[in-house]
């Protein structure tokens, strides 16, 4: 990564008045040693407490893993699973071996950390962001997913991903764990065929060309999610290539798909990206599976 492209940190945590850590349920950019007020303004002009971001990893090694050992507020040691720098009794750092056999890692006083570098959809030309990850579960989620993409010979630096937070309770405390999912944005910002709206009554079959059939997507279900303080339906589809994609419906969207059951097939005709959210505005219903008919069967 070119350091001149670096903008600052995107975080999901902050500090309270007594310097106590506070977990956030959204992505936030605030001024710190690596983040200028310019970066804060660039982010906040486009986003308002987003719970997910559409990102493109910066390079094949966008996720950096390292280990930290603190004594109080002093960074005692930092390593990369091969070698580390340990602060000795004289206040100088000396080279040590860093691996799973380290006593500090075995007793869990040395913590696994991650840094994910990426560009954000909608402001991708502004520069590169870093997401410092303190959740070991979140690091595992992202590391395993990106490694799987690489095993499939997918160039992650040329793909868009959904970076989101999952709320999980640890006793009475709610934590927000990051996760990632590949998106298919090939329809983004332009109609596939035309912008003519279908009649409000769903049709069961539409005559289509072979090219259209390649863009059919299979409806797999929906749930409500909160996006910028608004509850919106989030729909899961599967492409003809077997890839999962997620779309949101907003007030302008054709809602007929919500009247249908899973395994219905549609052809998207208008998709927009609004503040990083991928909105399905219109589509043709190719195969309708009525909810009542499926239950009766």
pLDDT value of position 204: 36
Q: What does the pLDDT average to over 37-62?
A: 93
Is 197 part of any domain?
Answer: no
Is 81 part of any domain?
Answer: no
Q: Give yes or no for residue 29 having a pLDDT over 50.
A: yes
Do 217 and 178 share a structural domain?
no
Pairwise CA distance, residues 98 & 111, whole Å: 12
Do 157 and 222 share a structural domain?
no
| Cβ-contact 205, 287 below 8 angstroms | yes
Is 104 part of any domain?
Answer: no
Is 286 part of any domain?
Answer: yes
Q: Give yes or no for residue 193 having a pLDDT over 60.
A: no
Do 122 and 54 share a structural domain?
yes
Pairwise CA distance, residues 248 & 227, whole Å: 9
Is 124 part of any domain?
Answer: yes
| Cβ-contact 263, 218 below 8 angstroms | yes
Q: Give yes or no for residue 292 having a pLDDT over 70.
A: no
Output the pTM of the full model.
0.62
Q: Give yes or no for residue 294 having a pLDDT over 50.
A: no
Pairwise CA distance, residues 64 & 48, whole Å: 27
pLDDT value of position 296: 44
| Percent share of the chain, pLDDT over 90 | 52
Do 256 and 130 share a structural domain?
no
Q: What does the pLDDT average to over 144-157?
A: 92
Is 73 part of any domain?
Answer: no
Query: Model confidence at 201, in pLDDT bands (50, 70, 90)?
Result: very low
Q: Give yes or no for residue 187 having a pLDDT over 50.
A: no
The string of pLDDT tens digits covering residues 214-252 is 688 999 999 988 877 788 899 999 887 778 889 999 989
Query: Model confidence at 160, in pLDDT bands (50, 70, 90)?
Result: very high
Do 22 and 134 share a structural domain?
yes
Do 122 and 29 share a structural domain?
yes
Query: Model confidence at 172, in pLDDT bands (50, 70, 90)?
Result: low
Range of weakest confidence among 52-56, 62-66, 98-102, 201-205: 201-205
Written as one string, the DSSP assignment of the chain is --GGGEEEE-EEEEE-TTS-EEEEEEEE---BTTB-HHHHHHHHHH-SS-SEEEEEESSTT-EEEEEEEEETTEEEEEE-SSEEEEE-TTS-EEEEE-STT-HHHHTT-EEEEEEEEEEETTSTTT-EEEEEE--HHHHHHHHHHHHHHHHTT--GGGS-EEEEEEEEEETTEEEEEEEEEE---TTTTS-SS--PPPPSSPPS-----HHHHTT-EEEEEEEEEEETTEEEEEEEEEETTS-EEEEE--TTS--GGGGB-TT-EEEEEEEEEETTEEEEEEEEEEE--BHHHHHH-
Q: Give yes or no for residue 189 having a pLDDT over 50.
A: no
| Cβ-contact 163, 176 below 8 angstroms | no
Do 176 and 49 share a structural domain?
yes
pLDDT value of position 171: 67
Query: Model confidence at 213, in pLDDT bands (50, 70, 90)?
Result: low
Range of weakest confidence among 53-62, 183-192, 210-219: 183-192
Range of weakest confidence among 9-18, 32-41, 136-145, 183-192: 183-192
Q: What does the pLDDT average to over 85-112?
A: 92
Do 166 and 125 share a structural domain?
yes
Do 228 and 177 share a structural domain?
no
Is 198 part of any domain?
Answer: no
- Number of domains observed in the structure of the chain: 2
Do 251 and 142 share a structural domain?
no
The parent domain of residue 232 ranges over 210-296
Comparison of pLDDT for 163 and 203, the residue scoring more: 163
Do 220 and 162 share a structural domain?
no
Q: Give yes or no for residue 188 having a pLDDT over 50.
A: no
CATH of the domain at 291: 2.40.50
Do 23 and 154 share a structural domain?
yes
pLDDT value of position 178: 94
Is 275 part of any domain?
Answer: yes
| Cβ-contact 95, 87 below 8 angstroms | no
């Amino acid at each position: 990564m070119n350091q001149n492209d670096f903008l600052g940190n995107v975080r999901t945590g902050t500090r309270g008045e007594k310097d106590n850590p506070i977990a956030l349920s959204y992505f936030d950019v605030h001024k710190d040693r690596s983040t200028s007020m310019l970066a804060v303004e660039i982010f906040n002009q486009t986003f308002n407490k987003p719970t997910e971001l559409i990102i493109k990893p910066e390079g094949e090694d966008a996720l950096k893993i390292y280990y930290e050992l603190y004594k109080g507020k002093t960074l005692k040691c930092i390593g990369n699973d091969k070698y580390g720098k340990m602060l000795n009794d004289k206040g100088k750092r000396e080279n040590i071996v860093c691996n799973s056999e380290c006593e500090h890692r075995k007793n869990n006083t040395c913590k696994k950390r991650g840094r994910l570098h990426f560009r954000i959809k909608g402001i991708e030309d502004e520069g590169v962001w870093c997401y410092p990850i303190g959740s070991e579960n979140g690091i595992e989620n992202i590391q395993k997913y990106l490694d799987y993409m690489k095993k499939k010979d997918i160039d992650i630096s040329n793909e868009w991903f959904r970076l989101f937070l999952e709320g999980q309770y640890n006793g009475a405390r709610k934590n927000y764990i990051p996760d990632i999912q590949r998106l298919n944005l090939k329809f983004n910002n332009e109609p596939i065929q035309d912008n003519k709206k279908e009649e409000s009554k769903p049709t069961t079959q539409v005559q289509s060309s072979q090219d259209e059939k390649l863009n059919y997507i299979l409806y797999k279900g929906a749930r409500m999610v909160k996006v910028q303080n608004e509850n919106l339906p989030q729909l899961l589809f599967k492409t003809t290539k077997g890839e999962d994609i997620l779309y949101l419906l907003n007030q302008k969207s054709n809602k007929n798909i919500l009247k249908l059951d899973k395994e219905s097939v549609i052809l998207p005709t208008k998709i927009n990206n609004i503040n990083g959210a991928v909105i399905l505005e219109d589509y043709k219903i190719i195969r309708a599976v009525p909810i009542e008919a499926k239950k009766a069967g």
